[in-house]
């Protein structure tokens, strides 16, 4: 379940951070018509913001989405340890019968997980790798400095 804005404000200290989270999700949703859902979770698996394609009937309810975010963050922690050997993990994906799920980790300079972006595609999406690398990753990379700056102020 997405936490209330009041909780997030207390957690992050200011409303502009909430706006940044939501804005990032909204930008990613608009990158391609096949994108169904976008969420941003912190390093603890708390879903901080999300956006859905208009008119979409979600496959998961709020509780299932919160569990998905927590599981995605947990899996990213195990993957990050291999980056020193295999290189940076741009994204991971799972193809299900009804949806294509993608996770993008955002790490700091010391390779610690800070955020995870989770999103889904319609299964009809063709050339998903190109969509992710050429449309979605640039939006994420553009937002990373702002996210990291706000994160450093929190600590």
For residues 62 and 91, is the Cβ–Cβ distance under 8 A? no
Separation of CA 17 from chain center: 15
pLDDT interval class at 52 (50, 70, 90): very high
In 3-state terms, what secondary structure has residue 106? strand
Rounded to 10°, the helix 15-29/5-12 angle is 120
The strand order across the sheet containing 113-121 reads 47-52, 35-42, 113-121, 100-107, 92-95
Q: Report percent pLDDT > 70 for the chain.
A: 88
Q: Please answer whether residues 10 and 16 qualify as being in contact, where contact means their C-beta atoms are separated by less than 8 angstroms.
A: no
Residue 139, pLDDT score: 97
Rounded to the nearest 10 degrees, how much is the dihedral formed by the CA atoms of 133, 139, 140, 142? 120
- The first and second tokens of residue 70, run together, are 């927590």
**What is this structure's pTM?**
0.85
Counting the structural domains of the chain, the total is 1
Range of the structural domain that residue 138 is part of: 5-154
CATH of the domain at 108: 3.30.450.30
């Amino acid at each position: 379940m997405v936490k209330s804005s009041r909780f997030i404000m207390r957690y992050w200290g200011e409303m502009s951070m909430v706006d940044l989270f939501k804005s990032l999700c909204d930008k990613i949703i608009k990158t391609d018509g096949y994108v169904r859902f976008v969420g941003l979770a912190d390093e603890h698996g708390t879903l901080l913001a999300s956006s859905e394609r208009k008119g979409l009937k979600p496959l998961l309810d709020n509780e299932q989405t919160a569990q998905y975010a927590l599981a995605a963050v947990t899996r990213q922690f195990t993957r990050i340890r291999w980056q020193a050997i295999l290189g940076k993990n741009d994204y991971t994906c799972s193809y299900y019968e009804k949806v294509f799920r993608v996770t993008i980790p955002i790490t700091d300079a010391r390779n610690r997980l800070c955020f995870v972006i989770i999103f889904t595609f319609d299964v009809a999406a063709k050339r998903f790798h190109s969509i992710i690398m050429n449309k979605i990753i640039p939006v994420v990379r553009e937002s990373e400095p702002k996210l990291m700056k706000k994160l450093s102020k929190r600590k």
